[in-house]
Amino acid sequence: MKKNGFTFAELLAMLVVLGILMLIAIPNISGMLKNQRVNSLKADLTNMVETAKIKGSKENIKPKNGECYVFTLNYLNDDGNIEKGPNGGLYNQFDSLVLYTREGSRYKYYVRLLESYKEKYTGISFRDGEVIKNIENSDIETIENEIGLTKNDTLATAVPKLNSFGSISSKCSSGIKGYYSGEAGCTIYNGHYYDANGNAVSENQYKASCLRCTIYDGEYYDNRGNVVSEEEYHELCS
């Protein structure tokens, strides 16, 4: 018979019960936290799509079947609300993007959102409300080599990178017609053309100064920005 407190057997039984409760609770808590992170990613994805719709409408962008327009997160993130990911890392502002296209009679938005955290990438690819791919703890080098867009990319340099990524090129059978990065220089904005210095120029001047050794709108451009044959393009630019 005990005088005060618990016997050793009682304490041991309590520890066993607590251990069992922890084994039950920890996976549930872990699952809840993961669901919260996924929901946070989806909310940011939705924000990106809605912003792309607004900006696309202002720019009067209406892709024809198979045409694509690309909006980077840097371009969409005017207010800075889509900057930090649910894990506490930062979103990649250029490889995170919205691809706006048309398939048949329907306009569609494909979204890719990447968070850099502890030298790894976590993220998600999304289409019309459905998750295409979850990206979990992928090496930074592996992910950035998939597309590798930076703030220095223009339409001329972005298109080959985007075309090399199968998930994008397969949706753009008629080509990438616009690249909106939010950075000045060599871009098409609001129906106007801008050169590398951010100056408004004609379409021909834009092509001459910005489209060097690239394929744009079904035409091949050499290292001087002149339209050449496919054979000449490979000779001069390979």
Tens digit of each residue's pLDDT (9 = 90 or more) over 62-85: 899 988 999 999 888 877 788 888
Residue 124 covered by a domain: yes
Supply 71's token pair.
Answer: 């909006």
Q: Are residues 177 and 192 in the same domain?
A: no
**Residue 152 and residue 189 in one domain:** no
Does some domain include residue 14? no
Per-residue pLDDT, 121: 85
More confident call, 35 vs 169: 169
Identify whether residues 101 and 145 lie together within a single domain: yes
Task: Count the domains in the chain.
Answer: 2
Residue at 118 is within a domain: yes
- Give me the domain span that covers residue 201: 184-238
Among 48-57, 62-71, 107-116, 200-209, whose mean pLDDT is lowest?
200-209
Q: Tell me whether residue 50 is in a domain.
A: no
In a domain, 33, yes or no: no
Q: Are residues 107 and 162 in the same domain?
A: yes
Task: Specify if 37 maps to a domain.
Answer: no
Q: How confident is the model at residue 144 (pLDDT cuts 50, 70, 90)?
A: confident
* Residue whose C-alpha is closest to residue 117's, from 149, 142, 85: 85
**Residue 117 has what pLDDT?**
83
Are residues 177 and 65 both part of a single domain? yes
Q: Is the pLDDT of residue 183 over 80?
A: no
Tell me the per-residue pLDDT of 80-133, one tens digit each, with 9 for 90 and over.
Answer: 788 888 888 889 888 899 999 998 888 999 999 888 888 888 887 877 667 677
Residue 31 lies in a domain: no
For residue 1, what pLDDT is reported? 46
Structure tokens at 58: 């202002």
Q: Residue 12 — pLDDT band, cuts 50, 70, 90?
A: confident
Percent of the chain at pLDDT above 90? 5
| The pLDDT of residue 101 | 92
Same domain membership, residue 190 and residue 211: yes
SS3 (DSSP) at 37: helix
C-beta separation of 154 from 179 below 8 A:
yes
What residues contact 164, with CB distance under 8 A and at least 6 apart? 147
Same domain? 62 vs 76: yes
Give the residue from 181, 196, 220 where a domain finishes: 181
Q: Are residues 145 and 209 in the same domain?
A: no
